[in-house]
Amino acid sequence: ISAGNKRRLFLLVPLLLCFAFASEKIAIVTKIVGMAEYVRKKEPPKGLKRGFLIESGDEISTKRDAFVALVFIDDRSALKIRERSQIVINGKKNAKKISKKIDLNKGIIRAQVNSNRDFQVQTSVSVASVKGTDFWVISDEKTGDSIIGLEGLVTLLNRVSGEKIDIKPGITGISSKDGSLQTIKSDPKDTPIDLAQSADQEKKLEIKDNSLFKRILNDGFDGISSNPNYKMLTLLIILLINLSLF
């Protein structure tokens, strides 16, 4: 680490000691393409970096041609965020599980959810509730939402009418602002491209079997230790890694 980063770390440690346990760390950014920003509480927007730890309540926005992938630390469920999207990520930790709620204000996201974990995507028009599935959500501020089922089952609720339908693989659910719900057979041409799966662009975040990141992704910070002092040390190590990415 450079001397400049060491000085920054020295200045940041007191703040870390004060606020390390004030907010829930719920996910880690694994891929960035283009420009993306995050807003935490009432702070001004800041550039998002690979390896950054997401807290509950963080707002993420992507610019033109941008893409962000992140992994939740409790069960390795993944969230992919396409260009010109804006979301707020919320998580409530209960034992070793995080109940996740994604507020999609606009844009396109892909959720790859592991089994037996609560995961919900909400827009101004719809709520998509899942337990173990893979799907895209396309939210248009003018018309409504489209849910493209890839694996598992998604229950789609229209918040205007209160109607519900189940979305299976190969089916697209359309939830309109007038309260209507309908399903159609998915057209592959309408399915967004997942840049994290593009072989010519993917640069994986390498995680060894027994590494610190691997244990965090598997079990969260409780996978490191139940001792608060060791958790603090873990956060300091992650901060060092984040600084080295700048």
Residues 243, 7 contacting (CB under 8 angstroms)? no
Average pLDDT of the residues in 77-97: 92
H or E segment to which residue 179 belongs: none
pLDDT for the residue numbered 111: 96
- Reported confidence tier of residue 96, pLDDT bands at 50, 70, 90: confident
- Per DSSP, 228 falls in state H
The model's pLDDT over 20-61, given as tens digits with 9 standing for 90+, comes to: 444 678 999 999 999 999 999 989 999 999 999 999 999 999
The model's pLDDT over 158-191, given as tens digits with 9 standing for 90+, comes to: 999 999 999 999 999 999 999 999 999 999 999 9
The model's pLDDT over 66-86, given as tens digits with 9 standing for 90+, comes to: 999 999 998 899 999 999 999
Per the prediction, the chain carries an average pLDDT of 81
- Reported confidence tier of residue 207, pLDDT bands at 50, 70, 90: very low
pLDDT for the residue numbered 140: 92
pLDDT for the residue numbered 37: 97
Q: Among 30-34, 129-133, 200-204, 237-241, where is mean pLDDT lowest?
A: 200-204
Residues 37, 48 contacting (CB under 8 angstroms)? yes
User: Residue 198, Cβ neighbours under 10 Å: how many?
Assistant: 11
pLDDT for the residue numbered 16: 47
Q: How far apart are CA 133 and CA 150, in angstroms?
A: 8
Widest pairwise Cα distance in the chain: 59
Q: How far apart are CA 152 and CA 154, in angstroms?
A: 7
Which residues make beta-bridge pairs with 140? 144
Cα distances (Å, whole numbers) of residue 186 to 45, 89, 95, 168, 229: 36, 27, 38, 10, 51
**34: phi > 0 → left, psi -120 to 50 → alpha, else beta; which?**
left
Q: Strands 78-81 and 97-113: what pairing? A: antiparallel
Which residues make beta-bridge pairs with 31? 69
pLDDT for the residue numbered 212: 54
- Per DSSP, 23 falls in state S
Task: Answer whether residue 217 shows pLDDT above 90.
Answer: no
Rg of the chain in Å (alpha carbons): 19
pLDDT for the residue numbered 238: 59
- Per DSSP, 64 falls in state T
* Distance linking the first and last C-alpha atoms of the chain: 10
Task: Answer whether residue 127 shows pLDDT above 60.
Answer: yes
Task: Answer whether residue 148 shows pLDDT above 70.
Answer: yes
